[in-house]
Amino acid sequence: MHILVTRPEPAASQTAERLRTLGHAVTVDPMLRIAPTAPTLPEGPFDAVAFTSINGVKAFALHPQGPDFFHLPAFAVGPRTSKEARAIGFANVTDCDGDASALAGRIAGALPAGAKVLNPAGEDRAADLQALLAAPGITLELAIVYAAQPADALSEEARAALASGTVTAALHLSQRTVKTLLKCVAAAGLNDRLIEVRQLCLSEQVAEPFVKAGLKVEVATAPNEDALLALL
């Protein structure tokens, strides 16, 4: 199969390598470009750190105050995020193996009411972790440590692959990349080609813009990359 990968780098190249190992041809065209920021972090003390994405971990590693938090327990939304948290210096990492709801549930089960958690994240988030933790009485302090800039056009390689009809499937891990892809495809006049591509989505939330646009989608049985690739 020829698969289009739209997630940001460096994760896009990592996914592409997995796909090539499985024997697929791959075109990588990130629909978002990640740019770390360096805001002053909220005042503590904190009881833990929560990561909702691997990009949040990578950006936090570059933040000048980041190492000050490595002694705290960290909760990560999934296995790749938890692996990256360990790699940057966190020793106590809980892999929540799911989505934001699973992350909130593990935090609520491990920390007492009144605990304070730092959430290094991006400007746009798929779920409101703060709201999910409000019921058990845990305070979440958000720190915007990276910005995701949408692409303004398809890459030449992606445009040519779609125009020729060689792309058979596309992987989608965030709603914002889906929305950006739809805009770029429309601008390139390739809507008819996109209809022919299998749209493989991490979750129903990710798939929503495709559904609204009238495209057929396939949704992973669990919100992780292994389940997404299993759709192939």
Structure tokens at 40: 């002053």
On the question of pLDDT at 32 being above 70, the answer is: yes
pLDDT tens profile 198-218: 999 999 989 999 999 999 999
Average pLDDT of span 26-43: 91
What pLDDT does residue 3 have? 98
Per-residue confidence (pLDDT) for residue 38, from 0 to 100: 80
Residue 134 C-alpha from the chain's centroid? 23
Q: What is the pLDDT of residue 223?
A: 81
Tally of residues, the chain? 232
Structure tokens at 10: 């460096």
Q: What is the pLDDT of residues 95-128, one digit of tens each?
A: 988 788 889 999 999 999 999 999 999 877 666 8
Question: So what's the pLDDT on residue 126?
Answer: 63
Beta strands in the chain (DSSP E): 2-5, 25-28, 32-36, 48-51, 74-76, 93-95, 116-122, 139-150, 169-172, 198-201, 217-219
Please list the helix, strand and coil fractions of the chain in percent, rounded to the nearest 5, in that order: 40, 25, 40
Answer yes or no: is pLDDT of 167 > 70.
yes
